[in-house]
Structure 1
């Protein structure tokens, strides 16, 4: 009888441990977000959290899936994009923690420097409000154009007040920009898409944001789950020394820790 009771106690202990493990589902862009999350999986497993990473290649569905409670969180965007998304889509997603910066860059297969940009060149930028504004700010800082307000993150081509080279701005979905690189003189590309296209921002970009970029990539959740134990464990793991070293070693300056 004692052996039976002892066996039942062991089974109960295992059952309690299994029940304590919580699943956390997170949407992420393939690079570097999903790679960073895959790296923290073992760290979270030790904390009793089973991290499930769902990879998306667009900037809309990850937010909608979290808002609709199909997923717990996402990791792909910066605060200006989230603010614009919440305002335009009437969502109420919130920031949990900031993780890293991906310096935004200008790339070309036709010229070696911005000084070679020809008159009337076609320049492709993202067509979403915040990343489009970010691209124009970089062009302004690089001296290609001058904006009415060079602090406005929501600048549009209509805000260009000086355009000495007469560039033609073409607005396209951010994910498609690496694919049209050979068709335009210059493309302003988010670093996650640049990395996927095997572009090295620190070597290939003709212009790139400095480390003072305000566009920190963030872990995003809903008001009802942002403070959950599992979410806070993920936030802590993403700020761990192990993750900082992983980012610095793997991306060699193309992705910069923000903590």
Structure 2
């Protein structure tokens, strides 16, 4: 039976609150947001793998490139964008294009991608069955509750024939868009960061790659079903507030994040659980 790290709601909430306060409290005039001044480039990132990749750049590549890089870790998918928008941080690295499009539309933010770095394949995991085919009729499957990742989860299940989605269903699919459900699967919508914890309460869970890795899962080995990396629109990228794309520090980081050294680091460290998108 596979093991996972317990992620509690309290821990996530406390981490998001603490980091959110430190990132957002200073506003546009914060010294940490120093675009064009030659100060450190402050980047908000999810702990795994984003912050790990940035830390590799900081320790091994940044100094030679003349880049002063500061990494701030966040446990959620909201504060990194709002902190980038209000200038508390200079950039972020944690998200994909469909998620960003949805976020900008709903929250009125103006975040734009700079360069795509890697893909974290979404996977279906279970503590109760050893294959997707072993899911019984009426099984409960946890899926992320944000619009983009829920649709992505349903598309993953549909690609493996577990469900069928209505024709024309896109990146906003919900369980109501299922046209055929031969196993009568039931869906439990859970905050993305809590899906690993849900494994103890449901028959299976669709988990984002970064949260799977943080929970001690190995997507390439442990997932019952895993997204294909080919022509996948969910690559994760470095992003900034619109207008800051040409910040020299951002350009330096973009170049370093898509270097052969970073590609090798990703391939060696994550063994297929995270895939470079630029090599």
TM-score norm. by structure 1 comes to 0.90
Contact 1:21–1:49, Cα closer than 8 Å, also in 2: no
1:82 aligns with 2:100: yes
Give the deviation of 1:21 after TM superposition.
Answer: 5.3
Instruction: Tell me the equivalent position of 1:228.
Output: 247
Note the aligned Cα RMSD (angstroms).
1.4
Work out the CA distance in 2 between the residues paired with 1:106 and 1:237.
32
SS of the aligned residue for 2:128 comes to coil
Instruction: Tell me the equivalent position of 2:27.
Output: none
Q: Choose 1 or 2 for highest CA Rg.
A: 1
Work out the CA distance in 2 between the residues paired with 1:36 and 1:98.
13
SS of the aligned residue for 1:33 comes to helix
Instruction: Tell me the equivalent position of 1:240.
Output: 259
Indicate which of 160, 174, 193 corresponds to 2:192. Answer: 174
- 1:90-127 Cα offsets, whole Å, 9 max, x none, are 11100000000111100000000111101111110000
Indicate which of 10, 17, 33 corresponds to 2:50. Answer: 33
Give the deviation of 1:224 after TM superposition.
Answer: 2.4
- 1:22-44 Cα offsets, whole Å, 9 max, x none, are 30000000100000000001412
Residues 1-259 of structure 1: matches in 2 within 5 Å? 22-42=39-59, 43-149=61-167, 152-212=170-230, 213-259=232-278
Contact 1:140–1:146, Cα closer than 8 Å, also in 2: yes
- The number of equivalent residue pairs is 241
Runs of at least 4 residues of structure 1 off by over 3 A?
none
TM-score norm. by structure 2 comes to 0.84
